[in-house]
Amino acid sequence: MDDYREEFQRLLESLNIPSIGDQVEIERRFHAFLSNTFQHIPEKLFRYRKCDHYSIDSFEEGTIFVCKANLFSDKYDSRVYVDRDKIANELKTGFKGAISDLISHVKSQNPDVKPESALKICRLMESGLSEQAIIDKMINEDYADFIKEIEEDMKKRELRFRNHEKTAKLACFTESVQSKFMWDYYAGGYTGFALEYNLKEFIVNSSRNPNFYRHVFPVIYTDKMPDVTDDEGNAYMKEKCLKEDWMRSWAPLYHSVPLNAMHIFKPYLYKDKAEYSHEREWRMICYNENKEDFSLIPDLNCLKAIYYGPDISSENRNKLHEIAIARGIAEYDVAFDQESRNYNLKVCPSHFSDGI
């Protein structure tokens, strides 16, 4: 799967699917992207769980818990990088061009120039300032607060995929059920359990709901957060043009710039390589077009097996065994291999019998 992670990263970072344009072509390209990743989803993906009532109830009820990224302990999870200096410089460049045009219109006595704007330009020219000095003065005095406001707003967007109410909800899975770190960290120090899913079946079955979108992708492990400066900058300016009356004339410009539809996935799929690459994670990304809040989604019978941790209590194991029998799923034991010098955990069919 490591080879596909590299291929997936190249695909995600090179693919540009515009948000506006020929909808048939957009849907064709997006479908091709999803088909590519679907083919590479492992038939077995695992989720480690603690033996708390939330996890046990979810197992019994046939649901998968999903949540926003702000519930994850990693404060960098789903955080993005926005180059605020780049956006500020682009704004200043745009203002310089607009003010230069305004000065030219005033000199040519263009009747379309607002009287108050023409008066200000005339007074500045009469004071002996050069055109460049006038431009710099107006940017520093008239637009400085606006540019600073943009910079502050863009800083907030670095976290919007973690906190915003319209963000996706996520579920995390891994390729291995024999990870000692995962058993220790996510399954209560080996006292929990792990569940095996076939998420290909889940995607096929859930496609019958037209208002529920779900995708499963491998997590990309890198040294840098994803840079979404261009798309986040354009998205923000589109929103800004609708809120500020004096910016309405800019709206056609920003609304004609297509965003890359792929950028909505990037925040959720990049994690710190040094800290997390050993997790070999795949993520389910879910959106609900009905705008309903949701934290549990039906597993649609894609749950195939349960694995009991080496130190699970008899009480919890009995409880989970009864549910497994009722749901008709396979059971396995995970244990320390006492017959080997290796550090491996071994997996074998459960020897559970009533009364253990």
**Residue 290 in domain:** yes
Q: What is the pLDDT of residue 187?
A: 97
Give the tokens for residue 277.
């690459």
Q: Is residue 355 part of a domain?
A: no
Residue 242 located in a structural domain:
yes
Q: How far apart are CA 179 and CA 44, in angstroms?
A: 14
Q: Which of 115, 140, 156 is the last residue of a domain?
A: 156
The answer to whether residues 299 and 64 touch, using CB atoms and an 8 Å cutoff, is: yes
> φ and ψ at 349, to 5 degrees?
-55, 140
At residue 291, the pLDDT reads 66
Q: Are 104 and 249 in the same domain?
A: no
Tokens read off for 345? 């955990």
Is 354 contained in some domain?
no
Question: Whole-angstrom Cα distance, residue 117 to residue 50?
Answer: 66
- Smallest CA-to-CA distance from 270 within 289, 257, 254, 283 is with 283
219 plus 193 within the same structural domain: yes
Radius of gyration (C-alpha) of the chain in whole angstroms: 27
Let me know whether 232 and 260 are in one domain. Answer: yes
Whether residue 173 is contained in a domain is answered as yes
Structure tokens at 282: 């795949």
Does 73 lie in the same domain as 107?
Answer: no
- Which one-letter amino acid corresponds to residue 187? A
CA–CA distance, 74 with 279 (Å, rounded to integer): 14
The end-to-end CA distance of the chain, in Å, is: 38
My answer on whether 169 and 290 are in the same domain is: yes
Contacts of 132 (CB under 8 A, 6+ apart): none
Q: Which of 198, 214, 221, 225 is nearest to 79 (CA)?
A: 225
Q: How far apart are CA 224 and CA 273, in angstroms?
A: 9
Tell me which DSSP letter residue 110 carries. Answer: -
- What the block records as the tokens of 11 is 């695909």
pTM confidence score: 0.86
pLDDT (tens digit per residue) in 235-266: 888 888 877 776 777 777 777 778 898 988 99
Judge whether 356 lies within some domain: no
Examine the domain organization and report whether 26 and 73 are in the same domain: yes
**Furthest-apart CA atoms within the chain: distance in Å:** 98
Q: How far apart are CA 23 and CA 215, in angstroms?
A: 20
| Residue whose C-alpha is closest to residue 334's, from 306, 310, 301, 352 | 310
Among residues 127, 156, 185, the one where a domain terminates is 156
pLDDT on residue 355: 42
Residue with tokens 């770190």: 181
User: What DSSP string runs through 236-287?
Assistant: HHHHHHHH-GGGGGGHHHHHTS--BGGGGTHHHHEEEHHHHGGG-EEEEEEE
Please identify every stretch of the chain with a pLDDT value under 50, giving residue numbers as ranges: 1, 353-356
pLDDT at position 2, please? Answer: 56
> Which of 297, 268, 208 lies closest to 80, judged by CA?
268
Mark whether 116 and 232 lie in a shared domain: no
Q: Which residue has the tokens 């600073």?
A: 148
Number of domains in the chain: 2
Where a domain ends, among 156, 173, 206?
Answer: 156
Do 309 and 213 belong to one domain?
A: yes
pLDDT one-digit tens code per residue, 95-150:
888 888 888 888 888 887 888 878 888 988 889 899 899 988 888 888 888 888 88
Q: Residue 293: which domain range?
A: 2-80+160-349
pLDDT at position 352 is 63
Residues 210, 269, single domain; the answer is: yes
Q: Are residues 137 and 176 in the same domain?
A: no
What's the rounded Cα separation, in Å, for the pair 285 and 239? 25
Same domain, 62 and 148: no
> Is 258 in the same domain as 336?
yes
Question: Does any domain span residue 228?
Answer: yes
